[in-house]
């Protein structure tokens, strides 16, 4: 028997406004919309290019402590804060990532918020939205097919089949596809290959960092698919693949407009993971939001050591963005887990465990302050939280010089986050001095060491011989100026998922590196991180179903 998801049930009780009304609320004309049903639409790039000039909005980044099974509520807080800012008279728009089918059918479930702080229609957003992930998957696999076809028909570029680095993609958790053999049956040379989840595809990163259709095609052309017999790079542009790939992605580059349950406009676009990619929504959507509102509330995936660091060192660097403030989300339950308490015992008061776990929160806060940005802590409340536990979090944050605000947006919507909205507005009025962690000219090896030491508090970085060799080659090839995208477990500052809290003085192992020349960064693979996740023992997919009314239910 399938259970009904209470979040979806609650959302269906809310009368959503037609998407035209949401567009008007955001300052977009009807002609800007390509409608996908009554409640979601694409926004034409031409309409965004013709927006009247106005000062950019204040950009607020929502991030969190290191995630735990207890839950933190980063997306829920982003939505609640956006609703609350509008409630107190500050015009706000939300900019979020699109959910991936992998987590939706895997362990995490849906990614549209919860309770009264949701974007809607949640079932449509979680499963397909407007098809952007499918377009990215198709473009990724078109390139893979063109590579094999090029080899089949004589291989005029001399591409070395044993040195092809481009992998296929699928928006699903499927561990059986991590390593495969292709070419069986004699149709092409037999070689090893594999799949990444679509969120980890370089094309996802390209879509999220491209700022126009010409920029998109130029980035696609720079993708390195492998090397020739002389060890020289072969690109998608050399294969002639970029124009057709851009055609597949033309509509996907347009941001998607939806709404919160309280009618706040939300641009939901792009979906790179933060543990294996750069974890931020698209630059196109963020830039559009900055021209449409006074405050833009966006999020970056997983803990601040991953998504927020990449937002500040990659996305802001590429897009010339200047954030005004950072919100770090924490819960008493999650801090108790970081303090050594098991999930089954989280319902009991344990102030000592909260204080121990607060070291994780403090580390993230210190890191965000290190970027020169004002920080506000949002305490996402659960019914089991006690006044003493919340007081311990507030006191710990006060010792760091930041304010911590208890929030009830899950239960009360925007009304439950008004105090947070006032605190964030005040923080945005402070003089932010945003500075990236490292300069472009720092060598790639040193960029990795800076992130590892200053963000993770590692004592040392251990590079495999393969990683060292490839980093030297990337630098020799003219890519040493690129930022670094760290790929590591989201559960710990270290590369060990079980090392919770605020570990330090450990060694960070970098086993491999990949050059994403089209996206414009170098990926450092740390520890055992995978670019194709697997399903858990009891996948969330087993609860997804159509109810008696033909509606999608069971999305966690």
d(CA 402, CA 394): 9
Instruction: Classify the C-alpha dihedral 44-49-52-57 as positive or negative.
Output: positive
449 is catalytic: no
Instruction: State how far the Cα of 405 lies from the Cα of 390, in Å rounded to an integer.
Output: 9
Identify whether the C-beta of residue 25 lies closer than 8 Å to the C-beta of residue 263: yes
Active site residue 78: no
Nearest to 129 by CA among 273, 19, 263, 25: 19
- The answer to whether the peptide bond before residue 121 is cis (omega within 30 degrees of 0) is yes
Cβ of 464: how many Cβ atoms within 10 Å? 14
Alpha-carbon radius of gyration of the chain: 23
74 is an active site residue: yes
Sign of the Cα pseudo-torsion (518, 520, 525, 529, in order): negative
Helix (H) or strand (E) holding 492: none
3-state secondary structure 171-215: CCCCHHHCCEEECCCCCCCCEEECEEEHHHCHHHHHHHHCCCHHH
CA-CA distance, 357 to 524, in Å (whole number)? 28
371 labelled catalytic: no
CB 351 within 8 A of CB 389: yes
Q: Which of 25, 108, 355, 511 is catalytic?
A: 108
Catalytic residue among 23, 236, 252, 274: 274
Strands 117-120 and 375-380: unpaired
User: How many angstroms separate the CA atoms of 438 and 206, rounded?
Assistant: 22
Question: Which distant-in-sequence residues (6+ apart) come within 8 Å of 395 by Cβ?
Answer: none
Q: Answer yes or no: are the C-beta atoms of 353 and 335 closer than 8 Å.
A: yes
Alpha-helix residue ranges (DSSP H) falling in 211-295: 213-221, 242-249, 283-290
Residue 44: in which H helix or E strand, if any? none
Q: Is 97 a catalytic residue?
A: yes
Q: Which of 219, 234, 221 is nearest to 164 (CA)?
A: 234
Strand partners, 522: 484, 515
Return d(Cα 275, Cα 490) in angstroms, integer: 6
Choosing from 302, 311, 371, 474, which is the catalytic residue? 302
Does 242 participate in catalysis according to the annotation?
no
What does the buried/exposed string (b/e) look like for 147-158 if buried means 16 or more CB atoms within 10 Å of the residue's CB?
bbebbeeeeebe
Pairwise CA distance, residues 296 & 85, whole Å: 10
Active site residue 315: no
For residue 324, give every residue at least 6 positions away whose Cβ sits within 8 Å of its Cβ, in sequence order, or none: 58, 59, 60, 373, 374, 427, 428, 432
Which residues are CB-contacts of 460 (< 8 A; sequence separation ≥ 6)? 507, 508
- Alpha helices, DSSP H, located in 27-178: 45-49, 74-87, 101-105, 122-127, 132-152
Catalytic residue among 195, 382, 474, 506: 382
Is 166 among the catalytic positions? no
Out of 42, 97, 363, 470, pick the active-site residue: 97
Catalytic residues: 74, 76, 97, 108, 274, 302, 382, 410
């Amino acid at each position: 028997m399938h259970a009904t998801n209470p979040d979806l049930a609650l959302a269906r009780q809310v009368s959503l406004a037609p998407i035209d009304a949401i567009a008007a609320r955001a300052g977009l004309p009807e002609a800007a919309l390509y409608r996908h049903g009554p409640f979601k639409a694409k926004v034409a790039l031409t309409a965004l290019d013709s927006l009247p000039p106005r000062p950019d909005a204040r950009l607020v980044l929502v991030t969190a402590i290191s995630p735990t099974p207890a839950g933190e509520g980063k997306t829920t807080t982003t939505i609640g804060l956006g609703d609350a800012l509008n409630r107190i008279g500050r015009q706000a728009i939300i900019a979020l990532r699109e959910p991936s089918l992998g987590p939706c059918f895997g362990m995490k479930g849906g990614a549209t918020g919860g309770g009264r702080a949701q974007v809607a229609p949640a079932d449509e957003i979680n499963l397909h939205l407007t098809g952007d992930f499918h377009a990215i998957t198709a473009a990724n696999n078109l390139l893979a097919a063109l590579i094999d076809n090029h080899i089949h028909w004589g291989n005029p570029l001399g591409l070395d089949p044993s040195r092809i680095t481009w992998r296929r993609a699928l928006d699903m958790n499927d561990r059986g596809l991590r390593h495969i053999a292709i070419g069986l049956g004699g149709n092409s040379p037999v070689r090893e290959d594999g799949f990444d989840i679509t969120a980890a595809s370089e094309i996802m990163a390209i879509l999220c960092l491209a700022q126009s259709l010409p920029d998109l095609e130029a980035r696609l052309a720079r993708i390195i698919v492998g090397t020739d017999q002389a060890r020289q790079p072969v690109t998608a542009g050399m294969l002639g693949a970029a124009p057709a790939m851009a055609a597949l992605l033309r509509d996907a580059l347009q941001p998607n407009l939806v709404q919160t349950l309280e009618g706040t406009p939300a641009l939901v676009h792009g979906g790179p993971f933060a543990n294996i990619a750069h974890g931020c929504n698209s630059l196109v959507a963020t830039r559009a939001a900055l021209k449409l509102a006074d405050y833009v509330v966006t999020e970056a995936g997983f803990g601040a050591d991953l998504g927020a660091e990449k937002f500040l060192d990659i996305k802001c660097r590429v897009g010339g963005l200047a954030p005004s403030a950072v919100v770090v989300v924490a819960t008493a339950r999650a801090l108790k887990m970081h303090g050594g308490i098991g999930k089954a015992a989280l319902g009991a008061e344990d102030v000592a465990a909260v204080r121990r776990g607060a070291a994780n929160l403090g580390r993230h806060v210190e890191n965000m302050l290190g970027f020169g940005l004002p920080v506000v802590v949002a305490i996402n409340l659960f019914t089991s939280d006690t006044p003493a536990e919340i007081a311990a979090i507030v006191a710990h944050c006060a010792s760091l010089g930041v304010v911590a605000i208890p929030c009830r947006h899950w239960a009360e919507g925007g009304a439950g986050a008004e105090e947070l909205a006032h605190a964030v507005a005040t923080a945005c009025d402070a003089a932010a001095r945003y500075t990236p962690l490292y300069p472009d000219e720092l060598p790639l090896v040193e960029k990795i060491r800076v992130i590892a030491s200053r963000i993770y508090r590692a004592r040392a970085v251990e590079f495999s011989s393969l990683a060292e060799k490839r980093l030297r080659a990337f630098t020799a090839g003219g890519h040493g100026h690129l930022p670094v995208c760290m790929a590591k477990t989201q559960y710990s500052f270290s590369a060990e998922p079980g090392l919770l809290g605020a570990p330090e003085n450990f060694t960070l192992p970098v086993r491999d590196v990949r050059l994403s020349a089209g996206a414009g960064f170098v990926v450092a693979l740390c520890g055992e991180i995978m670019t194709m996740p697997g399903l858990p023992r009891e996948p969330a997919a087993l609860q997804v179903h159509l109810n008696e009314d033909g509606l999608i239910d069971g999305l966690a």
